[in-house]
Amino acid sequence: MKERILAETERLFWKYGVRSVTMEDIAKQLGISKKTIYQHFTDKEEILYQVMLDKMVKNQSEMDCMPAKMANPIEEILSVMTMIQKQADQVNPNFLIDIRRYYPKAYLLFRQYKEQFIVQSILENIQNGVSLGLYRSDVNPSIMARLRVEQIELAFNCDIFPTNEYSMLEIQRELMHHFVRGLLTEKGFTIYNEHVNTKNEYNQSVYEKK
């Protein structure tokens, strides 16, 4: 039952944000009583916390499996970012806004995850790309890693990117390709161009050869 509650609540949070989803909604959706939910969780914030924790563990193990399959850091960073994009596109922008404003414990968890895991994994990717001559040797990897992480969150900010003007997918794709291109050396560009022109998922017609 606990797993069912978590799975269904996650779906509701992604779709509507956190604040507008009530315990009543969750119970109704599952066809159970609120009492049953309270047997497993003390309140909505506890469910949120557990949903986020599970998601982070799942993401982390997915990413851990990735590098082995990847031919090079450029392919790796584009794959990881495409994964993040796909997830971001399913999430109501209110989700992150709600967490930042109203759920400090969950927000702290997100920030810690971001700091310890996402920044770290992008940092390693950049260092790896520099050592292979695919990224410029004059970048500051830690500034760039932090920039990239903030860009993911930036896309969720409706004050900056009003949802009626831009789609989440469009923003994330635009920021991702701009970020990677800003790092590349000439050698890197060759690999990047091959990659975006052979993979349909990157919409080859849009990304012209440099």
Looking at the Cβ atoms of 21 and 155, the one nearer to a second copy is: 155
Which residues sit at the interface with a second copy, rule CB under 8 A?
136-140, 142-144, 146-147, 150-151, 154, 160-161, 165-166, 170-171, 174-175, 177-183, 185-186, 206-208, 210
Closest distance between a second copy and the C-beta of residue 204, in Å?
A: 11
- Tokens matching residue 24: 């009543």
Looking at the Cβ atoms of 69 and 209, the one nearer to a second copy is: 209
Q: How many CB atoms lie within 10 A of CB 148?
A: 22
Looking at the Cβ atoms of 78 and 175, the one nearer to a second copy is: 175
Backbone dihedral angles phi then psi of residue 83, each to the nearest 5 degrees: -60, -45
Closest distance between a second copy and the C-beta of residue 127, in Å?
A: 15
Looking at the Cβ atoms of 11 and 146, the one nearer to a second copy is: 146
Cα(147)–Cα(143) distance, integer angstroms? 6
Closest distance between a second copy and the C-beta of residue 72, in Å?
A: 18
Closest distance between a second copy and the C-beta of residue 192, in Å?
A: 12
